[in-house]
Amino acid sequence: MAKITSVRGFRDILPDETPKWQRVEEKIREIFFNFGIQEIRIPILEKTELFKRGIGEATDIVEKEMYTFLDRGNEYLTMRPEATASVIRAYIEHHLYEKDPVAKLFTIGPMFRRERPQKGRFRQFHQINVEFLGQEDPRIDAELMSMLMYFLDELGLEELKLEINSLGCDTCRPAFREKVIGFLKDREDKLCEDCRRRLGTNPLRIFDCKNESCQETIAGAPVILDFICGECREHFEKVMESLEILGVSSVINKRMVRGLDYYTRTAFEITTQALGAQNAVTGGGRYDGLVQMLGGPAISGIGFAIGFDRLISMLPDTEGEDTGRPNIFIAALGDEAQGRAFSLCNTLRHAGIRAEMDFSDRSLKSQMKRANKLGCSHTLIIGEKEMEEGTAQLRDMKDGVQESVDIQDADNIIKGVRSKE
Ligand code: HAM
């Protein structure tokens, strides 16, 4: 019969790769704990309206990339393309702000965007997502970015560039919008069809268009950082100052607009040459109007999401990484020995030792081969003769030294394995 393969842009992360994912997750959870960031787990499916309103109707994500379907209950549902809108929905829905308006939340999981798959870009990808709610102080922006850089640094990543911009607020953005429209109106014929439409709906998106002619046209356009209001300017300057205090270096990228509409003021991305064209490993920013836009009180927020898949692809392959291999292999010959091995395996596992055996009762040589393949530190050999004597040979696979142990004395066997750990 014909094979059934996975869906384009959706991939399996195989057992050889998962230890790296686990290692990163352990590290980030430790850091989140130290920074007082709590985990929130949110559903993959949400009402489509959440993303339309949260991310913005005239963004690429909402216009072209969402996995949306009409549910049997006649309701439009969407597989989340990002986590921020969902986290804020949960924050509002459960009135978390009543207990404490200040919340620091993280979530890790798959996101779905129907983009064109290529290196570093998938249709199901994973994000490590953080949101800080209820704090407007610019030092928070710096603290968040500094934590992020610290984490990436701890993982040994190099050549990271933190790019920052300010996207202004509701006070200064409308005037800037008009400026851009004015500039582009005269050059409309140079824009792609999408951007001509965006000129009426969401002109700032044109900064993000990949079309060469649009890029050339927008290159001469005014940039928002030159037009932000006094308060936004002050916020931006304080963020830059605070980053300096924390010893985090960054560059201002006046052309960065980010692909989601909820951002206000601080916007940032971390890029690296190691990722080539898809070079952002992290994106984030402040979204002071989002909680209100989604039906909650006026509470500010800032957050980021790390592209987990991209992050993993940047990590070096560590040799001898623990892939969850058993520590001890029990090579048992003959029915009786196999029976003893079966229950001993269980006892060892309960004692916290990884144990494995071979049920096929093959020759000692092939069982030892398997023990080697699994990378076991020890093998317990129970032959027919040993069984009669009530003993087994505990072999250290590194130095080949063997000692005779009492087969009933599981504690002693455990001790023998542990002594080399
Ligand atoms: P974003 O920039 O759309 O932001 O995504 C963040 C990161 O997710 C990107 O920098 C990239 O590493 C990764 N990413 C995005 N799309 C793909 C893809 N198709 N394949 C692989 N990786 C991808 C957000 O999603 C915002 N919610 C971040 C945020 C949180 N802002 C505030 N809070």
Question: Domain segments of the chain: what residues?
Answer: 18-172+228-314, 328-419
* More confident position, 409 or 78: 78
Secondary structure class of 159 (helix, strand, coil) = coil
Contacts of 117 (CB under 8 A, 6+ apart): 8, 9, 123
Expressed in angstroms and rounded, the spacing between residue 204 Cα and the centre of ligand 1 is 18
Winning range, highest mean pLDDT, from 105-109, 188-192, 216-220: 105-109
Contacts of 106 (CB under 8 A, 6+ apart): 32, 37, 38, 39, 40, 128, 129, 130, 131
One-letter amino acid of 419: S
Residue nearest to atom 14 of ligand 1 (CA): 307
Whole-number Å distance between alpha carbons of 272 and 208: 18
Report which ligand 1 atom has the smallest distance to the Cα of 81: 25
Joined together, the tokens standing for residue 366 give 């092939």
Q: Which of 89, 46, 43, 98 is nearest to 67 (CA)?
A: 46
Per-residue pLDDT tens for 362-389?
999 999 999 999 889 999 999 988 888 9
Handedness of CA 63, 65, 69, 75 (dihedral sign): negative
Task: Read off φ and ψ for residue 257, nearest 5 degrees.
Answer: -120, -15
The answer to whether 267 and 231 have CB atoms below 8 angstroms apart is no
Q: Do domains 18-172+228-314 and 328-419 have the same CATH topology?
A: no
Per-residue pLDDT tens for 128-142?
999 999 999 999 999
- For a ligand 1 pocket test, name from 106, 125, 140, 144 the mutation site with the most ligand atoms within 8 angstroms of its C-beta: 125
Candidate from 123-127, 257-261, 272-276 with smallest mean pLDDT: 272-276
- pLDDT on residue 324: 54
328-419 belongs to which homologous superfamily? Anticodon-binding domain (3.40.50.800)
What are the distances in angstroms from CA 406 to CA 354, 381, 385, 420? Answer: 20, 12, 13, 19
Mean confidence (pLDDT) of the chain:
93
Whole-number Å distance between alpha carbons of 183 and 206: 12
- pLDDT on residue 158: 85
For residue 340, the Cα-to-chain-centroid distance in whole angstroms is 44
- pLDDT on residue 93: 98
Expressed in angstroms and rounded, the spacing between residue 150 Cα and the centre of ligand 1 is 19
Secondary structure class of 103 (helix, strand, coil) = strand
- pLDDT on residue 237: 98
Res. 330: pLDDT tops 60: yes
Q: 326 falls in which pLDDT band (50, 70, 90)?
A: low
**Percentage of residues in the chain having pLDDT higher than 70:** 97
Per-residue pLDDT tens for 236-259?
999 999 999 999 999 999 999 998
Residue nearest to atom 29 of ligand 1 (CA): 304
User: Mean pLDDT throughout 51-76?
Assistant: 96
Per-residue pLDDT tens for 276-297?
766 899 999 999 999 999 999 9
Residue nearest to atom 11 of ligand 1 (CA): 307
Helix (H) or strand (E) holding 276: none
CA contacts within 13 A on the Cβ side of 70: 1
Burial class (CB in 10 A: 0-12, 13-18, 19+), 351: middle
Q: Which of 32, 39, 307, 270 is nearest to 149 (CA)?
A: 270
- pLDDT on residue 277: 66
- pLDDT on residue 278: 64
User: Mean pLDDT throughout 193-205?
Assistant: 87
User: Mean pLDDT throughout 392-420?
Assistant: 89
Q: Which residues line ligand 1 (CB under 6 A)?
A: 82-84, 113, 115, 121-122, 125, 127, 129, 131, 259-260, 280-285, 303-305, 307, 309-310
Q: Which of 147, 149, 128 is nearest to 139 (CA)?
A: 147
Q: 320 falls in which pLDDT band (50, 70, 90)?
A: low
Q: How many CB atoms lie within 10 A of CB 161?
A: 15
Whole-number Å distance between alpha carbons of 301 and 290: 8
18-172+228-314 belongs to which homologous superfamily? Bira Bifunctional Protein; Domain 2 (3.30.930.10)
